[in-house]
Structure 1
Amino acid sequence: MELVLFGWRCEHDDMPVGCIKGPPKVHMLSQQDILEGRNLSVTCKATPGNPSLTTFYWTKVDIQGFRQNGATLHIPNIQRNSSGTYRCTAENSYNPPVVNTLFQQDIIEGRDLSVNCTATPGNPSSTAFYWTKVDNSGFRQNGPTLQLLNIQRNSSRTYICIAENMYSNGNKGTDNQSMVVNVIYQPAIENRQLQIVNESETVILTRNISGNPVSNVSWFNKTELLKTETSVTTTSFFIERPTCSDTQNFTLVASNGVGSNATAVVELIVNYGTNISYRFHDKGENELHAAHISNLQPLVTYWFVVSAKNSYGSSPSEITRCKTVQEKASSKTGMVVGSVGGALVLITIVLILGIVHRRFTCICKIALENKDRNMYDALTSTENANQYEDILKKDLKDDKFVTQNTEEYANTSFME
């Protein structure tokens, strides 16, 4: 096996970029005779040029793709087909480091991310590292290791590792590699108010699903599976001709293999009954406004809601819920809300006028009448329900609704 001396030269009239005055001079190498199966190790030396920083690499004359970086040629367990001419090359030109390939990082939200960047040194070999972020010019982490503690979903971005070496002439050699950070997190279902439709109107129940990766979803009616979808960010359930029996709470479940499944109740009310509206005359700020509602039924829950509007917008109140109780046939005494013949419920509203919206409270009161008919016990005021602006009447005894035409409203209620 023949080892050939090779020195890189600078010509005075046609000097390569980075070569200053003189190249290094490689010392003489002698032929290496070695037994097959043994390990070969030969170190190449050179007298430094100007600049004095020197890099070495080895090539093989008859194999174009062969290259070993560094001053020492290593060939372990050498075989007969390794015989040939090897060339040691010494250079004192400047060259940048070469950053090694980086791979995408998938990490669960809330965990700590640590990624180390490495590079093949250039000339000079001293290398500085730092990290940047593609869409954030203010982001910089010095050093070869990127650390993101308690990582959140908004940290999903492309990060860049940059390696630099400083040349003695004041210039820099640089190289970089990009890396995608993908933060994965469990699904969440959009929260919406209950949906109210009239009977026979097409119903579209829609929810947006967040999560990474995208989620698989299932719709249930109690334990009955109604529909499944895979890899979605929005899901919808259709009912073409709903009836009052479709008034119920559906269950929506979303899963993406990260953390716990997300579950939401999707409420639907199918209106087979009355829309009752009352319009109030605006008496001004902090004034009482009242509406009288007659013909309330026993064993019925009523919801009352007030909406105020001005030229800047509108605002609804929270819904106040009141329920009548069982009729007592022996009752011949005082008249209370709930009597079929015309007992009244007095809705007292305090409108507090604002520049943009009106804010108000809604108070249920009981009005008494004195008529010759059977009486019912008083309504009892209970918790608030979700907000919406139609009056619906639903008799709990037979699940039927009663229809009544009325005029446009400023206060609304519904019952079930």
Structure 2
Amino acid sequence: MVNFGCEMKIHFALMCFILMICKTKGQEYNITGSSTFSELGKEFTWTCSMFTPPKQTVNGVKFYRDDLVCAVIGRVTGECTVQILNDRYIYGCLSNSIYTLTIPAENMTEYEQRSTWSCRYVSNSSYRSPDAILNIAIEVHNISLSPNNGQLTLRENLETEVMCEINNNAVPPPTITWFLGTKYISSTEGTYTTSINITGNREDNTQTLQCKATNNNKPPKTAVTTINVEYPPTVRPFWQQNIIVEGRNVTVTCDFIPGNPNTTILFWTKEGNPLFRQKGATLLLPKIQRSSSGEYKCIAENIYSNGEKGRNNQSMILNVLYPPSIEDIPLEIVNESSTVSLNRKIFSNPLSNVSWYRGTKLLKTETSVKTATYIIERAMCTDTHNLTLQVNNVVGNVSILVELIVNCMPKLETTNITLGVTDTTGIDFSVTVLAYPSPQYKLQREDGAIDNIMQNSIYMNAVNNFTLRFNKNIVDQSDFGIYNLIVSNPFGVATSFILVLPQRIPNIPRDVTLTCEVTSASVHWVSSFNGGDTQTFTVVAFNVKYGTRYSERIPDMGENTAHSNFIHNLQPSTSYSFHVSAENSHGNSSSENIICTTQNKDTGSLQTAVIAGGVGGTLTVVVIVLITVFFVYRRYICKSVLQKRNKEKAATMKEDAAYYTTIAEQENREKNVYESLQRQNANSREGNDSDKSHREFNRKDSTTQVSDCEHSTRKPANVYVNTSFM
């Protein structure tokens, strides 16, 4: 046996193990400490449990600190043998498989803090325990508050951040708790610094704010500061206003409660008169005049520790009776979209009632006011007007005009104008413009060239309302196309797009809806472009058994305008196909068919419009399909005949091509108007022929016999309709 002269000390008491496991076939290497945390100046023991690896006979381990060998220890021939490489520690053998390393009390210093320990088999380090970290418990010994100068001064209703700091080497990190007096505020674990936001409240004045910190189940350390809440004095309210006859003496005393600091300064002021100031708690006004009528304030002040002032006040009204008069401001000019506050001071007592009028329309009333105020949240061009302000009290009344002008960029009555004209009519259109100041304008062709050929003029209808008129007596081919009317003033630019094109058939009515009743149907639609000529509408209802029903002709109320009509003499519980036809002197166009079933005569249940093929009866749908096939076949025959005749009349059609169009949605193709007109000319005639044939086929009351393939071919009438005024 080799004796290394090592004295072994073995400690078993209060072993609190942290299990670090390395397993091989159910066996393991562990290193555990005698407690979760060690303490400075107190002994601490590491215990290593091991096993002898396969094909090995030596029982022994190496202790490592931060990957450096401290000692080799084992049992040789039954005796504990130690080779010491670091004599700061004491080593021992508890059994053939359990060995210890003890850190003596005198060597337990901060040097050992966060050191890493392990034990490994003597001849093969792959058999080893997991690493274990040595944590030395350090108590909280330093705690402080910031700010802290003996007391914490707070301002009433203002937040202040207070920070509590602990020595940052405390292990484990402490738990910090805040108290206001004896009232718990909050608690934070595992941190060295924490803060709270505390709001000044006069009820908390002179209370103590405490920060307590503890770890290792030790009594807490505490930092304390006294709260000093600064707040202004309070002026007690006046319970009634003083109504004084002119020439009398006035004496009013102000009562108050001191604040913190309690030194208080009192004085009186008068609202609207910055030069009036009277010191002391008592207001003295000898031989009062009407100019003294108004609002007086008793103001109480104290001075805070930083030099700022705390202030509180109460108002008292003095009423010297006399009739009203109004501040005179003749004209106000404001910018568009700004918030406008029209204010007029009212000099009267008792306080006056006021009314704002625009013409005869009452806009606003106010009672018992010193200043009459009318607010327009977002001024518009249309707010330019003369307003009337009427003021009265029990003594008398008076009124004035308040003139308001709004600077605004031009706003056009319409931004899209479509003019359908013929070669013998002139171009004539006008645009109403809202603007201030008066606008400048120019008419441009699509390529940017200024049009100087059309005659133009501007008329002032009102200070901010103008009419621009353009006209040309004779229309040339070059006049067709798109124009940009650009209107401007210093506040902006507006543009209207004018499309000049030959007159043609109307666009299809859109947004068609209907509701079927027992013997009638209510039909609604929105009108489209009239093709440059006056258009009318007809509602058509068709049923295979009962034939076709027509409404009376409905006049056009203007483009993009909602229309409605009833069609009567329908049969109950019957499905009809409905459409709306728009017609002018150049032809007609029809909306899509909609199937709707009239209500049952007994139940009166409502039926709503359903797109064709959706809800109609099966028999009706089959019959309608057959009729449609018949129409398509006829149209094909008609189209063949027309194509033959068109070949014979090619020269004539070529000359007429510039005057016809079937633009279904002209707004989407304005920039290609000429190519679109010529490309679609032939299709327009054939489409019109077919649609007209279908409609004439359904008219039971028609007395004129017209060829199925010829009746719809018509030349445009030389009639001009200015759609911009419809």
Q: TM-score, normalised by structure 2?
A: 0.21
**Higher RCO (CA < 8 A, seq sep 6+):** 1
Larger radius of gyration: 2
Q: TM-score, normalised by structure 1?
A: 0.33
